[in-house]
Amino acid sequence: MNLLKFDSTEKLNEAGAGIITGLIQTNRRAVLGLATGGTPVGIYGEVVASYRRGLVSFKEVTTFNLDEYVGLPEEHPESYHSYMEQHLLRHIDLPREQAHIPNGNAADLQEECRRYDALLDKAGQIDLQLLGLGHNGHIGFNEPDHALISGAHVVTLREETRQANARFFPSLADVPTQAITMGVGTILKAKMILLVVRGADKAEIVHRALTGPITTDCPASLLQTHPHLVVLLDNEAGRLFP
């Protein structure tokens, strides 16, 4: 594990974006696993800035998002389809058919999960998987449980996850109760994982995930088993690391 701490969000965002654009500069056909949420917004901003400076092109890149809410229309401002448009896709030259996000409105959600896993299989290995971390240790929407699922699946969101995401919605009642998420098996198969964690409220969970027991009660603890894990923390989230 390679853990880096930053004394400003700007430096963390630049470092995260630098890792992503550096990969594409050396492999223009890179397959990226992408995350949503508050954490990566600034990283995407820096990636877009690099694109605008002509430093990187996404024409041959393929992306797979980790998750999407079930039942939220794609055009809803808080859908992860909208998020990706707003923060990345509309600003860069990535052909839309190469950007994959689970369809949380599919008539048959099980079939959609199979379709998503088949697409991932066809693309080969994800070169870089970007991850945030939930306060309960979730990665993607793989919530703490007695067992974890390897492939894409429908998940019922934990109450704490809905509460954490309520800040993006008019009220808690508006936060969807289910999502489709990439499974932990798929996440762990990525060649490299870039875990980004910010804020004092995540200091304990990131420390537990990376130094505590490997357990399905904390899905992110499985990242300890990954051979190429890079962790970017701000000083607040990294408080418990020397």
Catalytically annotated residues: 67, 136, 138, 143
**Residue 137 binding ligand PGA, by CB under 6 A:** no
Question: What would the two tokens of residue 156 be?
Answer: 């019922």
**Interatomic CA distance for residues 128 and 172, integer angstroms:** 33
**Interatomic CA distance for residues 204 and 211, integer angstroms:** 10
Pick from 79, 78, 69: nearest CA to 156: 69
Stretch that binds ligand PGA, among 1-9, 11-19, 129-137, 223-231 (CB under 6 A): 129-137
Among 25, 29, 38, 52, binds ligand PGA (CB under 6 A): 38
**Residue 39 binding ligand PGA, by CB under 6 A:** yes
Which residues in the 46-85 window bind ligand PGA by CB under 6 A? none
Closest approach of Cβ 6 to ligand PGA, in Å?
16
**Residue 134 binding ligand PGA, by CB under 6 A:** yes
The DSSP code sequence of 112-180 is HHHHHHHHHHHH-S-SEEEE---TTS-BTTB---SS--SS-EEEEPPHHHHHHHGGGSSSGGGS-SEEE
Stretch that binds ligand PGA, among 70-78, 99-107, 114-122, 132-140 (CB under 6 A): 132-140
> Residue numbers of the site for ligand PGA (CB under 6 A)?
37-39, 132-134
